[in-house]
Structure 1
Amino acid sequence: MSIPVTAPPETGHAAVPVGSKGKRHYGTHIFLAVMAVIWLIPLAWSLFTALRPKGDTDKYGYFSLQGAFNFDNFIQAWNQGGFSRYFWNSVLITVPTVLLTLFFASLMAFAVSRFNWKFNITLLIMFTAGNLLPPQVLAAPLFEMFKHFNLPYWFSDSGNLLNTYISVIAVDMAFQIGFVTFVLSNYMRALSPDLTEAALVDGASVWTQYWSIILPLTRPALAAMATLEVIFIYNDFFWPLLFIQSGDRLPVTTAINNLQGTFLSNYNLIAAGAMITAIPTLIIYVILQRHFVAGLTLGSSKG
């Protein structure tokens, strides 16, 4: 008795040669490794210089490994540069700017991504185009505008917006809100429209749709933007130096100027000060790293 043999059902997939899965992109890995090393060299060199006393550097040279390694430069830089006061000034500028930028940008992104109306694309283009203007072009007009914006002396000791944190916060928000709106609007468009349609059927208001439905789902993008905005605004040197005249109100990025000598500069001390200013941004990135990567890789696996 013969047993009929049936052919296996076709799956519609071509045969895959053994060993083709998990193909390694050695060229890409080598390129990324080289770029990472190139990026880390200045940071590692600054740390190496900051850990060496100036006397050993002068004696043995910057490219030597002889001499002592300690944290004396960091302690001297912290005390001489007044970093504790300048760090607080940076907090007063960075935190409100980042929070307000994310809030207003998320409102705008929600409007242009979840509702179809006549000027949504036009407004998005205008917000994005604002980032193309170089800050130096608007420096003189903004300075004159803030100088003639009268305020009571109990609010501003200059009688106007100059020499206040509000001027720096307002300008930083104006320059950053367009970029954040563009990124958040693309993120919100990737969310299913059924979410807000179902909420609308249930009687949810526009604010409820934004605050309770869309905003929690946008948390990875918000974390990614918060990380970038903290870095951008914290490292900003131009606007605070333009609008703030009092030295005790300047942010930490200007504290390194206090480490400069009149006739001779201690570059080991300056390197230690630069490393101190970089610590907060590194901490922010480590805390928000998981959300930062998730926000940047949204949709990367979609075909």
Structure 2
Amino acid sequence: MFPRPIEHSAPPARIAYQVALPIALVLWLLPLIGVALTSVRPSGDLAAGNYFGWPSAIAFSNYAEVFQNSPIGQYILNSFRVTIPTVIGAVAISTMTGFALGIYQFRSNIPIFFMFVAGNFVPFQILMVPVRDMTVSMGLYNTTTGLVLFHIAFQSGFCTLFMRNFIRSLPRELIEAARVEGVAEWKIFIHIVLPLMRPAIAALSVLVFTFIWNDYFWATVLTTSATTQPVTAGLYSLNGQWIASWHLVSAGSIVAAMPPVLMFFLMQRHFIAGLTLGATKG
């Protein structure tokens, strides 16, 4: 039922694994290494056609130039203004919907749950025109509020699926014992269920933070100005009108990638615990 550990495989399979693993790792890291090298490459190297070779000099000044000659600081602030409320809103809503769908057995439980799940299978490209028209009609186009509300609505399906399945794995005896003692349902949710959901909340927060921070499609569809655009959409402004400043774009990309990376390492223990809780028995 489960794949056999590589240690128990035949010697040829172990040798093939040991050879293929570093090759796959290098291929996966190659684009990231290229961006990192380009971020410290002088502009003269790019003008001379040195795109993939070793930089002629290490130009850490590219990172200072990004902040001096572009509003990347405003873009990063916009990303935080979009991402943090989205994470709070999506996780808060999903904990309540997941509790309702995972604990209470009512007639429309499964159809409502399927509606949350079905939203994840809708190609988001076909929603571009109606969502944009809706935000325009509501006066939310090119606003941080409009982008936050859309992301909360769009992420609620996946978050509800995640939370509902997690809550169903919790011991129901705790809830039943609290009900026998006459504890109100909202107190059961706050004082019993929420403390047990901390690993799942941490894992889901990291996932949603990464999803929203790295979003490019909706950032370009629903925002147009530097006062509202997140950093993923704002990086394009680092290119000049006639010249593509790829060394600045690469430096800006490295800077923009730092918050989700730091978020993951800060929450790594809780993230792994949330994803693996319930994976083993005993």
Match of 2:133 in 1: 144
Which letter does structure 1 place at the counterpart of 2:223? I
Q: 1:172 aligns with which of 142, 151, 159?
A: 151
* Deviation, structure 1 residue 203: 1.7
Match of 1:87 in 2: 76
- Check if 1:226 corresponds to 2:226: no
Match of 1:212 in 2: 191
Aligned length: 273
What are structure 1's unaligned runs of at least 5 residues? 1-20, 150-159
- SS across alignment from 2:243: coil
Counterparts of 1:120 and 1:61 in 2: how far apart (Å)? Answer: 60
Pairwise mapping of residues 183-198 of structure 1 onto structure 2 (< 5 A)? 183-198=162-177
What are structure 2's unaligned runs of at least 5 residues? none
Which letter does structure 2 place at the counterpart of 1:77? V
Q: Do the aligned partners of 2:42 and 2:55 also contact (CA within 8 Å) in 1?
A: no
- Check if 1:97 corresponds to 2:125: no
Match of 1:113 in 2: 102
Counterparts of 2:178 and 2:25 in 1: how far apart (Å)? Answer: 46
Runs (4+) of structure 1 exceeding 4 A deviation are: 27-34, 57-60
Q: CA RMSD in A?
A: 2.2
Counterparts of 2:56 and 2:188 in 1: how far apart (Å)? Answer: 63
Distance of aligned partners of 1:170 and 1:66 in 2 relative to their CA distance in 1, 3 Å threshold: closer
Counterparts of 2:108 and 2:23 in 1: how far apart (Å)? Answer: 46
Q: 1:288 aligns with which of 257, 261, 267?
A: 267
Q: Do the aligned partners of 1:50 and 1:73 also contact (CA within 8 Å) in 2?
A: yes
Which letter does structure 1 place at the counterpart of 2:76? F
Counterparts of 1:84 and 1:268 in 2: how far apart (Å)? Answer: 18
Counterparts of 2:202 and 2:18 in 1: how far apart (Å)? Answer: 27
Q: Do the aligned partners of 2:203 and 2:271 also contact (CA within 8 Å) in 1?
A: yes
Counterparts of 2:96 and 2:251 in 1: how far apart (Å)? Answer: 41
Residues 218-275 of structure 1, C-alpha deviations (whole Å, 9 max, x = no match):
1111111111111111111222322234332211112211111222212222111111
TM-score by length of 1: 0.83
Counterparts of 1:301 and 1:207 in 2: how far apart (Å)? Answer: 30
- Check if 1:65 corresponds to 2:54: yes
Match of 1:152 in 2: none
- Check if 1:132 corresponds to 2:121: yes
Higher helix share: 2
Q: 2:223 aligns with which of 244, 251, 274?
A: 244
TM-score by length of 2: 0.89
- Check if 1:47 corresponds to 2:36: yes
Match of 1:275 in 2: 254
Distance of aligned partners of 1:147 and 1:255 in 2 relative to their CA distance in 1, 3 Å threshold: closer
- SS across alignment from 1:68: coil
